[in-house]
């Protein structure tokens, strides 16, 4: 017997790396040393920093993968993977430098995984970071036919004096919510349960959702906020803190950027709720509190700014194609969200 008799095709793995090489290298910049194929990726730190701090993050896409696999639509998953990581480290004010991915599958399907990697490449281009390398694991008997899982890892850099750690935020500062592109990459276990209980299909269409199918809307990739945020910071716009709204929604994530003695009083009627969230609530009979505890509800990232800079920031992000809304105010408290 050999490895292929056990279900692992070494030659297919080598061929896959060759197929994606050009796409991966399209994300490289002068800081990337060497190419694919080594035991590690090399990245030279950029110059111009007096006291640089490296910021790292890792995440996955969750059970959104089940929908992508059911519809055989995989490219947006790669964008999701990058977005979940780079948006996280962005909250500290860090510029993403490089990204690595890990793909595990039962049996290597080159076209399927190439689509995922092409999405990762697009996500890296959208966030201005290099895809430094990755790992593809073929694990027969562990994943079913057509199944795969992905994980992402990124590293960014920020000047220590400009690190956003919550210490800059004061009572009276304002929370501005930046619009999400949809559900992003959280809450899909609940969505899948709703679809299962109601005997629905991903190809179904609903009046409230317009012409697109349910599956197509749910696979809308996570918004990447890196470029407009970094451009705002570099242009001198004052942003004191940020929160990436992922699992746990606004109640769990927004207080994480505050000091111990602060809370945020939020006005949930200050931004429009996307139709997909109304569909989830109505179809699944999900209470409003559970919706906010699970989903981003149309707000993908929140920035904290001084009261005097609110209008300036809102106008800036709208000029960058990201709708922004004044959604709350920092008040005295114990790191909670008030008003939901």
Tell me the residue range of the domain where 215 lies. Answer: 174-338
**Percent of the chain beyond pLDDT 70?**
94
Give me the pLDDT at residue 178, please. 98
Instruction: Please check whether residue 322 lies inside any domain of the structure.
Output: yes
Instruction: Please check whether residue 103 lies inside any domain of the structure.
Output: yes
Q: pLDDT for 140-172, tens place per residue? A: 989 988 899 999 999 999 999 999 998 999 999
Give me the pLDDT at residue 12, please. 61
**CATH no. for residue 94?**
3.30.1330.10
Co-location of 316 and 178 in the same domain: yes
Instruction: Please check whether residue 167 lies inside any domain of the structure.
Output: no
**Could you give the CA distance from residue 151 to residue 135 in angstroms, rounded to a whole number?**
10
**Could you give the CA distance from residue 87 to residue 303 in angstroms, rounded to a whole number?**
12
> How many other C-beta atoms lie within 10 A of the C-beta of residue 235?
8
Question: How many residues in total does the chain contain?
Answer: 340
- In the chain, count H helices and then E strands: 11, 12
Q: pLDDT for 208-252, tens place per residue? A: 999 999 999 999 999 999 999 999 999 888 999 999 999 999 999
- Does 6 have pLDDT greater than 70? no
Mean predicted confidence (pLDDT) in 256-270: 94
Instruction: Identify the H or E element spanning 18.
Output: helix 10-25
Mean predicted confidence (pLDDT) in 175-201: 97
Give me the pLDDT at residue 56, please. 97
Instruction: Please check whether residue 169 lies inside any domain of the structure.
Output: no
Structurally, how many domains does the chain consist of?
A: 2
- Does 92 have pLDDT greater than 90? yes
Whole-number Cα distances in Å, 264 to 175, 239, 241, 259, 335: 8, 16, 13, 11, 8
Q: pLDDT for 100-130, tens place per residue? A: 999 999 988 888 989 999 999 999 999 999 9
Average pLDDT of every residue of the chain: 93
């Amino acid at each position: 017997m050999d490895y292929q008799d056990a279900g692992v095709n070494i030659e297919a793995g080598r061929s896959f790396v060759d197929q994606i090489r050009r796409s991966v290298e399209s994300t490289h910049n002068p800081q990337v040393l060497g190419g694919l194929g080594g035991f590690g990726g090399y990245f030279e730190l950029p110059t111009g920093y007096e006291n640089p701090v490296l910021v790292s993050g890792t995440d996955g896409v969750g059970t959104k993968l089940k929908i992508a696999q059911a519809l055989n639509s995989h490219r947006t998953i790669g964008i999701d993977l990058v977005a979940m990581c780079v948006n996280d480290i962005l909250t500290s004010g860090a510029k993403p430098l490089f990204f690595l991915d890990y793909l595990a599958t039962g049996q290597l399907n080159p076209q399927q995984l190439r689509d995922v990697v092409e999405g990762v490449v697009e996500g890296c281009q959208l966030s201005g970071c290099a895809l430094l390398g990755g790992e593809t694991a073929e694990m027969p008997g562990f994943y079913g036919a057509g199944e795969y899982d992905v994980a992402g890892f990124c590293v960014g850099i920020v000047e220590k004096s400009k690190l956003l750690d919550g210490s800059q935020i004061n009572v009276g500062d304002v929370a501005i919510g930046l619009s999400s592109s949809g559900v992003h990459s959280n809450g899909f276990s609940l969505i899948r349960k709703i679809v299962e209980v109601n005997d629905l299909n991903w190809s179904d269409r609903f009046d409230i959702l317009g012409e697109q199918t349910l599956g197509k809307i749910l696979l809308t990739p996570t918004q990447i906020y890196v470029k407009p945020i970094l451009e705002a910071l570099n242009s001198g716009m004052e942003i004191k803190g940020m929160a990436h709204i992922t699992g746990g929604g606004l109640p769990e994530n927004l207080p994480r950027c505050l000091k111990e003695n602060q809370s945020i009083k939020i006005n949930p009627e200050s931004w429009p709720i996307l139709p997909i969230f109304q569909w989830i609530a109505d179809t699944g009979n999900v209470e409003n509190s559970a919706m906010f505890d699970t989903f981003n509800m149309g707000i993908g990232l929140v920035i904290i700014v001084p009261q005097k800079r609110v209008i300036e920031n809102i106008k800036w992000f709208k000029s960058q194609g990201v709708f922004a809304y004044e959604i709350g105010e920092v008040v005295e408290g114990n790191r909670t969200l008030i008003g939901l």
